[in-house]
Amino acid sequence: MIKVGIVGGTGYTGVELLRLLAQHPQAELRAITSRADAGTAVSQMFPSLRGHVGLHFTHPDEARLEQCDLVFFATPNGIAMQQARALLDAGVRIIDLAADFRIRDVALWEKWYGMSHACPDLVAEAVYGLPEINRAQIREARLVANPGCYPTAVQLGFIPLLEAGLVDEANLIADAKSGVSGAGRKAELGFLFSEAADNFKAYGVPGHRHLPEIRQGLAQAAQREIGLTFVPHLTPMIRGIHATLYARLRQDADLQTLYEQRYAGEAFVDVMPAGSHPETRSVRGANCCRIAVHRPQQGSTTVVLAVIDNLVKGAAGQAVQNMNIMFGLPETAALTHVPLLP
Amino acid sequence: MIKVGIVGGTGYTGVELLRLLAQHPQAELRAITSRADAGTAVSQMFPSLRGHVGLHFTHPDEARLEQCDLVFFATPNGIAMQQARALLDAGVRIIDLAADFRIRDVALWEKWYGMSHACPDLVAEAVYGLPEINRAQIREARLVANPGCYPTAVQLGFIPLLEAGLVDEANLIADAKSGVSGAGRKAELGFLFSEAADNFKAYGVPGHRHLPEIRQGLAQAAQREIGLTFVPHLTPMIRGIHATLYARLRQDADLQTLYEQRYAGEAFVDVMPAGSHPETRSVRGANCCRIAVHRPQQGSTTVVLAVIDNLVKGAAGQAVQNMNIMFGLPETAALTHVPLLP
Amino acid sequence: MIKVGIVGGTGYTGVELLRLLAQHPQAELRAITSRADAGTAVSQMFPSLRGHVGLHFTHPDEARLEQCDLVFFATPNGIAMQQARALLDAGVRIIDLAADFRIRDVALWEKWYGMSHACPDLVAEAVYGLPEINRAQIREARLVANPGCYPTAVQLGFIPLLEAGLVDEANLIADAKSGVSGAGRKAELGFLFSEAADNFKAYGVPGHRHLPEIRQGLAQAAQREIGLTFVPHLTPMIRGIHATLYARLRQDADLQTLYEQRYAGEAFVDVMPAGSHPETRSVRGANCCRIAVHRPQQGSTTVVLAVIDNLVKGAAGQAVQNMNIMFGLPETAALTHVPLLP
Amino acid sequence: MIKVGIVGGTGYTGVELLRLLAQHPQAELRAITSRADAGTAVSQMFPSLRGHVGLHFTHPDEARLEQCDLVFFATPNGIAMQQARALLDAGVRIIDLAADFRIRDVALWEKWYGMSHACPDLVAEAVYGLPEINRAQIREARLVANPGCYPTAVQLGFIPLLEAGLVDEANLIADAKSGVSGAGRKAELGFLFSEAADNFKAYGVPGHRHLPEIRQGLAQAAQREIGLTFVPHLTPMIRGIHATLYARLRQDADLQTLYEQRYAGEAFVDVMPAGSHPETRSVRGANCCRIAVHRPQQGSTTVVLAVIDNLVKGAAGQAVQNMNIMFGLPETAALTHVPLLP
């Protein structure tokens, strides 16, 4: 059994990790920390976990995380970088679900996240945890930077085109729509039911923190600089991201075959039949990205549709997938849920 | 492996059965029938099942259901009663998720359902599949009538009070609220998103088909006639039933202990701590009924709150629970999902 | 033109008042105060008001409210009672949309609201602003206590039965469901979209602040003490209250006619045809209470269904109705909106 | 008073027309037809209209529409073209809210709509009813083709750029999101609450009927052929369209000023301050298009955000606006509603 700790388990990423790990045959939950809620039963905060999770939240100072095999950080940005070194030194492996180790260019990270990085050298060591790209490195990693939700959907959607060099990589467009849980479990006016229900809006058009992360990943796939316009939107649903991706084709190609071959061996990427329109609910609760590729009116613009559950393949599920890879378990362990529909 | 067939699998109860059975370690899905959609891949109609269910819908005439060990009817009312005899004669056991065998008084059934019953003798044989009441009989049953969604929540909520004889059973009130999936996957104006969203209403106040079923169950628990006012409401959510139950106490009692003891051994009934308010989302996707019992201002009226997922404990999950009991499997097999929250 | 001021206009009651008053032919908005947002254009906070409301929020100290004819308090509880005396002394009339002046028994108010009352004598003077009961007194009032949202729906639903002495007033039940805007525009976890959407729950079963207010009103209608069990619920919609009311009949009666006659002259109470089930959306955005009265299976329990828009007839609309009465305007002025459906 | 008739008033466009016209000071509703519901009171089908609309649905054969000054067609495609000639010959003016007269190229229309056109010559006469483009011609028109919902939002968003010749008109992208009411009041599985709620998807990527309509309008604005990729999406809200538009700039320009000047005199187009993100709810129930123009990271791609209420500025409201223009009334008559927020 892998001894697992979770730092910061009171948000949506945390409760989702608990949902998945509670049913993992080879993970043993040892501690989950929360400074504010130490002593509270986890299942009191999240009644959905009654009967499944017996733990109480522990104060960080008493959690003995250094005795774990693996620690997940389900914390706000800027926490994991403070604590990573000590845990690594104690032989603990780390998966950070926040953004601290996602951007290789530390100066760029500091600009977008508005703080100094506490351990730039660990940034260099960290592996970006998108298994469909970095599986081999993840296997050996001590420190995995779990990708953001938008970046997961956008990268999985664009990568086959970029790796094949088929599109004008200087003018990519990603129009992405997220459910409200993507904003986290924070008491902010804009995410109240009465503000977000029956409403649709774009946000962050001048610039969103996921932009440099996406650019970095797409540039790596294209093996050159890329240009991207990224517009996120808030849509009145709880879970789900739908990325609608636009690129101009440089040449003709069998796009359906390209996608099917690229993801042929992937358990968690589903290339749908030609002509499909994936729905976010078709992956609700599941660690799955469904993709469809279109070329409307046989024109020069290709349209790729990619959906994920932002809390699963976009966060906690991908983290468990990374754990499975890091510890030599079957990659699908505890990740075979059938999506909940309707 | 238990060889399982499903008649009528294109509704919400059908897809939910498929979700649960696809992950059942001892069930083997042999056939799922649909007259209209014969030949279509199940996963084409329900993309959530891609990678989990490989079956196609079969025409009823070609399904060879008589070779199954168990057949579920996830059909409209009036279908199972036409086909039950032949299957039973072939040695197949049956769980009917519709209402054909729920009411023991055939004349009463015929009045509320507006048709003649095709096999009144089988009504006498059928076992009402509420395990928390009839577990022993279910074990031996050839034919199980799976309870309705409202009746499950209302009965589980009222039964401890009635069995203990603590309340005025002549004046019970059940104010119940259901998500829209309770109406089924039928193209009707009233259940369109634009009609049902951001809206709340009662319906069927003069009389609802679940009324006689609830009355029958409550009378059995009370061992006398009962009087019930039942008002169902439609609430703008997909899944979930919340029953708010009112009864006048005849005498003082420790209601919390009463409920905890009544359901002490039950895997799928969770009596919450005193003062709780169960939420429907706390059971989303799970075969669970959570109950809280209140006595506001220490008055003579007790208020019981009971929540279920109408498609799971209110339909497909309870059916799988019944299957497990009928075939001597662990009652919780394939029913240990952690609810999906948020 | 009536010179109008609003204290505390940044909540849902405030923006709704602005929506209604912006189109009122005889109201002139002079000031709207907000300590935190002084200087901000109202239409910057609420873009729906762009082109309709040109005001900026004013600091309370600079608002010169004493020059108004009427001041609305759209504030949290406990504010109006601090400022009422000075305004009344300056000749300003007041409508308080909070609870400060609703309960005549000051000790009872202090118990439920957890603070000392700043001006008990004004409580005695204040008129409870339910026009269908107190129209004559409202006309002369200097200080009107605008009713709560639940109390409006529950009282309008029960009053005809109680005034006629037809029901057992000792055992009334009000099962009420509210949209999330009833919780106000406050950043609290429980009202986040991701917490409240696709979910249903009761709350405050042990006791809710609207209970004493409802009891007071029903007792006045019955002209004796009444007993009431009141259970509020949170339902995933923005606006709307649906009250389902239960009472035991003492004698037979033509309930439909009773209700039609009681509300015959009322512009804002619509008694629907026998057998109806009013929907909350049928009053969305309108100052209207629709009511249907049922007697299921001709039994001894009557079921009354009453719906309002909690922000209109349950708050801002009723406040404007009171203003119209106080100033001798047509009672329907600025309140003739057709509900927004779908 | 203008004598008004409505053909086909049982859909969402119909009830919205009724909402607006019921409060129009110079319109007199004479008849509303429905073959299936003749004899039914309009307010029985739409209880929101109780007290506002006293009409019953009339059978088309008995409606005497030729005695009206103006007839609105709120019908499926292909109906208005059958009846337009006779009405025009009788001196009645027509506004068609369906698509029969929107596309000037009849062959193109027949290809996309799958039927032969009944009166191609009237297509030539019809005026496309986008007032911000064609106000002068609308004033004189006998027959107005009211624009589609997506085309209204996309054209108002792109037109300033195209008229100014600032962008590469061969590679425009319109990523549009619609509320479910855009699908109409039809009993179809895909628009059930349980299918459309908590879900997001694209549809019609290979081709959507609004594509040729949008292309026609944009080409006219650009005064040359344009290339457009148009992807519509279904979002879980009742009303609202959000168009996110992408175009590559040919040269630098002050886009904010360009938009403000283009729409300076328009009552129903609101160019928001630089940096804004318009929300669909900010126009809920109102005849308004709010627009914001962005240039992320000062790059070569401009992003325009445009929101409308699909049933108002995208259908019934624009139709009333056209009526006002045709009959010399103030253009804003009956269209000054403040949007309903929250």
Distance CA A36, CA A316 (A): 22
Average per-residue pLDDT in chain D? 97
For A317: left if phi > 0, alpha if psi spans -120 to 50, otherwise beta; the answer is alpha
Interface test with D, best of B48, B189, B192, B340 (most D CBs within 10 A): B192
Is the pLDDT at A9 greater than 90? The verdict is: no
| Interface contact D85, partner A, CB < 8 A | no
Task: Supply angle C-alpha D288, D289, D293, rounded to 5.
Answer: 150
Q: How many CB pairs below 8 Å do chains B and D form together?
A: 62
Q: How confident is the model at residue A59 (pLDDT cuts 50, 70, 90)?
A: very high
| Nearest residue in chain B measured CA to CA from C207 | B296
- Please state the rounded mean pLDDT for residues D130-156: 98
How far away is chain A from the Cα of B339, in angstroms, using its nearest Cα?
5
Q: What is the pLDDT of residues A180-189, one digit of tens each?
A: 999 999 999 9
| Interface contact A238, partner B, CB < 8 A | yes
| Interface contact D45, partner B, CB < 8 A | no
Q: What is the pLDDT of residue A214?
A: 98
Is the pLDDT at B9 greater than 90? The verdict is: no
Q: C149-310, which class in CATH?
A: alpha beta
What percentage of chain A reaches a pLDDT higher than 70? 100
How far away is chain A from the Cα of B116, in angstroms, using its nearest Cα?
33
CATH superfamily of A149-312: Dihydrodipicolinate Reductase; domain 2 (3.30.360.10)
Residues in chain D, overall count = 342
| Interface contact B25, partner A, CB < 8 A | no
| Interface contact C336, partner D, CB < 8 A | yes
Rounded to 10 degrees, what is the CA torsion of B317, B321, B324, B330? 110
CA pseudo-torsion sign C324, C330, C332, C334: negative
How far away is chain A from the Cα of C198, in angstroms, using its nearest Cα?
8
| Nearest residue in chain C measured CA to CA from B203 | C277
Determine the 3-state secondary structure of D74 from DSSP. coil
Is the pLDDT at B202 greater than 90? The verdict is: yes
C-beta atoms surrounding C41 within 10 Å: 15
| D199·A279 Cβ contact <8 A | yes
Q: How many CB pairs below 8 Å do chains A and C form together?
A: 62
| D246·A195 Cβ contact <8 A | no
Give the start-to-end residue ranges of the domains of chain B.
2-125, 149-310
Low-confidence ranges of chain C (pLDDT < 70): none
Taking a contact as any Cβ pair under 8 Å apart, which residues of chain B between 273 and 332 contact chain C?
A: 275, 277-281, 284, 294, 296-297, 299, 301, 303, 305, 307
Is the pLDDT at D7 greater than 90? The verdict is: yes
Whose structure tokens read 């055939």?
B106
Burial class (CB in 10 A: 0-12, 13-18, 19+), B60: middle
Q: Which of B173, B235, B297 sits opposite C235 (nearest CB)?
A: B235
The closest of A280, A213, A196, A199 to A244, measured between CA atoms, is: A280
| C189·A187 Cβ contact <8 A | yes
Q: What is the pLDDT of residues A88-134, one digit of tens each?
A: 999 999 999 999 999 999 999 999 999 999 999 999 999 999 999 99
Q: What is the pLDDT of residue A49?
A: 97
Q: Which of A15, A276, A282 sits opposite B48 (nearest CB)?
A: A282
- Please state the rounded mean pLDDT for residues B296-303: 96
Distance CA C326, CA C317 (A): 14
State residue C203 phi and psi, 5-degree precision: -155, 160
Q: What is the pLDDT of residues D8-62, one digit of tens each?
A: 989 999 999 999 999 999 999 999 999 999 999 999 999 999 999 999 999 999 9
Q: Which pTM value belongs to this model?
A: 0.97
Report the Cα A50 to chain-centroid distance in Å: 26
| Nearest residue in chain B measured CA to CA from D195 | B193
Q: What is the pLDDT of residue D123?
A: 98
Q: What is the pLDDT of residue D9?
A: 86
List chains touching C (3+ CB pairs under 8 A): A, B, D
| B340·A181 Cβ contact <8 A | no
- Please state the rounded mean pLDDT for residues B92-115: 98
C-beta atoms surrounding B97 within 10 Å: 30
| Interface contact B189, partner D, CB < 8 A | yes
With b for 16 or more beta-carbon neighbours within 10 A and e for fewer, the D242-266 pattern comes to bbbbbbbbeeeeebbebbbebbeeb
Residues of D in contact with A240 (CB under 8 A): 198-200
Distances (CA, A) of C161 to C131, C229, C246, C262: 18, 17, 11, 10
Determine the 3-state secondary structure of D292 from DSSP. strand
Q: Which of B180, B185, B198 sits opposite D238 (nearest CB)?
A: B198
Distance CA D204, CA B255 (A): 57
Cβ atoms of residues D322 and D295 within 8 Å: no
Distance CA D331, CA D322 (A): 8
**Which of 3.40.50.1100, 1.10.10.60, 3.40.50.12280, 3.40.50.720 would CATH assign to domain D2-125?**
3.40.50.720
Q: Which two tokens stand for residue B50?
A: 């891609």
The complex's ipTM works out to 0.97
Distance CA B173, CA B171 (A): 7
Q: How confident is the model at residue D172 (pLDDT cuts 50, 70, 90)?
A: very high
Burial class (CB in 10 A: 0-12, 13-18, 19+), C38: middle
Burial class (CB in 10 A: 0-12, 13-18, 19+), B136: exposed
Whose structure tokens read 């008493």?
A62
Q: Residue A312 carries which DSSP code?
A: I
Q: What is the pLDDT of residue C9?
A: 86
How far away is chain C from the Cα of D283, in angstroms, using its nearest Cα?
6
| Interface contact B339, partner A, CB < 8 A | yes
| Interface contact A111, partner D, CB < 8 A | no
